[in-house]
Every structure is written in C-alpha cells, then in structure tokens.
Amino acid sequence: MLKLGERTINFPFVLAPMAGITNAPFRRLMREMGAGVVVSELISAAGIEYGGRKTHELCKYFDQERPVGLQIFGETPEHLEKAALYLERLGADFVDINMGCPVPKIVSKGGGAAMLRDPSKLYATLSRLKNAIRIPLTIKIRTGWDACSLNAVEVVHAAAEAGVSWVAIHGRTRAQGYEGSADWDFIAEVKNKSPIPIIGNGDILTAEGAIHRLRTSGCDGVMIGRGALRNPFIFVEIQNLLGKNNTTEHTYWSLIERHLELLRECYVDFYLGVQLRKFLTWYSAGMEGASALRKTLYSFENSDQGTAEVLRVAREFFDRPGLRKQSSYLNEAFLQGGHG
C-alpha cells in the first residue's frame, strides 16, 4: 500500500518528475487525467536560497494538483534544509530529493546521483531534513552509481532509518544514463527487502504495462514519465482497466484545449505556442502525418502570431474524426536524457 505520511494514496500511479515538462499546467492536466500523485521537476536548493526569479517560478503549483510534491537537488545539507523548509512554508504536500540525476554538472558537485555513493552521509543528510520539516520527505534514486555498485537496498535502509516516506527507483544505474532497459527484477528485489514503500519506475509505456509492473514487481506504486507524453491518456486508461473511471471519453482536441487553458493561467500568449508545440509533437507520436506536423509547428516564430498559428495547425491535425495511433511508435527511442 502506498502511504505518504498519514495519507493513503488509493491510486498509486505517479507522474514522474521531468525537467522542463512537469510544470504546474502539465501536472494539473495529468491529475485531471487520473494521475494519483504528481511531482515537480527538479529545483535547485541553492537557487531557492539565492532567490532567483526563475527558480521561484518553478515552485508554484495549483491547489488542484494535490497531492503534489516539489523536488529539490543540492550539494549541501544546509541548502537542502533551507529549501525544504521554504517548500513546506509554500504548502507543498511533500518534499522529494533528487538522488538520481546523472548530469555531470550536478553530480560533479555532489548532488543528484552522487548522493548514492555514501549511504552513511546520505543517512545524516536525510535525518537532518526529516527533523527540520513536518511534511513527508521522499527520495528518487537510481539502482546504484554503476553496475559494480548496485546499492539501492543499502540506500533504502538508510532512507527508512531516517524516516523517509517512500523511495522511487528508476531501474537504471547512474552510469547507464538512459541506455538499455530499466531493471525491474532488481526493483522487485529491492522492494522485497524494503521496510518502506517503493515506487518502481522506468520504461512504462502503456496502461497494461503499468498494471503489469505494479503486480509483478510487488511495488507499492509505479511512476510514469515519458509514457505520459506520448500517451497523455495513460492514467485514465489504467483507471478504465481497473474499473475505476466513470468519466466520459476524452479526445485529443479536448485534452489540448484544456492544456491550453491551464497554460494561459501561467504564461503570456507568446510563450503558449513555445510550450504547446513540444507537447503536440509528443502527443502526435504514431499518428499519420506526425513528422510533417512537427516541421510545421517548428516553422512558426515565438510570438503571439506564432501561437495563433500553432493553434490553427493543431486544431486541423487533432480535431478530426478517425485519429489513430500505430503502436509501432512504442519501439522508437524517445527522450533519452534527463535529470533522474
């Protein structure tokens, strides 16, 4: 069972944090589309302390997203503690620490996946954070630093002792980046030995796949990242398969109109097109004419006029009967790089 502090998460299918993607509008859209929990992209703990405008923008969320976690990364326990206290004051439901980011700029300073290398230091940092805040603390990790140091079991025990509520595990090592496949056998082994809830993550592309991974790994929840970009209905489809959904059918165009409304609450007009067109290219994966659509969308300039053009073309493409996806797109490599 997936518990977050005192709260039980009844639908343990979580939207994964993704930099530049899981901003407030997309998180709210995915909550409306059935995700049980959502998590922000990684936010610099030092950036929060030094008061950067962009960093503070990343901390904003809609009340309707709850339960929403805000994720931070940082090198020093001092920065992480101050940032966690700030997020608690902002009203976040939980604070998540990024311990899976493989990006050299971050690990070279001791942040992200570098934190996995020393479980006793990790315990000290997590205990300090846990003592500082009252809201739940969660972490997101990799299976280990590299194939010779698959230490997720040790890390999970250190986290449990420190009072962490759950551990989300992306089933690859830091050294792997996004190569190969997520190791769900290893995730299941970690879950088997864990005293606290484990959320499995990696390569879930379909609703059937999500349910299969939850059942066969024994995990308390699963986390879906890239799968929700190419299939924004994935959480509703999981609900349907589990007999939990009573809502009417959604269409791509109704989803896009809703996404636009939510973007409008956060961004000025010229930026809507910039935001929307990346999602439109992902949503169109596997549809006839997708590559021509992508070219057209990226031919427009970043301006109010450009946004109007993006919308016109999007409507022509997505608001038509018989829109179908070929499942062959599931075999294509997709977004093989990220911060966790």
List residues binding ligand FMN (CB under 6 A): 16-19, 21, 41-42, 71, 98, 100, 140, 170, 201-204, 224-227, 335, 338-340
Catalytic residue among 59, 101, 219, 266: 101
CA–CA separation, 217 vs 194, rounded Å?
13
181 contacts 201 by C-beta, under 8 angstroms: no
Least separation in angstroms between CB 19 and ligand FMN: 4
As a whole number of Å, the end-to-end CA separation of the chain is 24
Task: Please identify which residue in the block is written with the tokens 């971050």.
Answer: 106
CA–CA separation, 111 vs 80, rounded Å?
10
Least separation in angstroms between CB 269 and ligand FMN: 25
CA–CA separation, 322 vs 340, rounded Å?
37
Q: Which helix (H) or strand (E) holds 106?
A: helix 104-107
Pairing verdict, β 7-9 and 221-224: unpaired
Give me the residue whose beta carbon is nearest to ligand FMN. Answer: 340
CA 108 to chain centre: 23
101 tagged catalytic: yes
**Judged by CB, which is closer to ligand FMN: 90, or 335?**
335
Which amino acids are annotated catalytic?
101
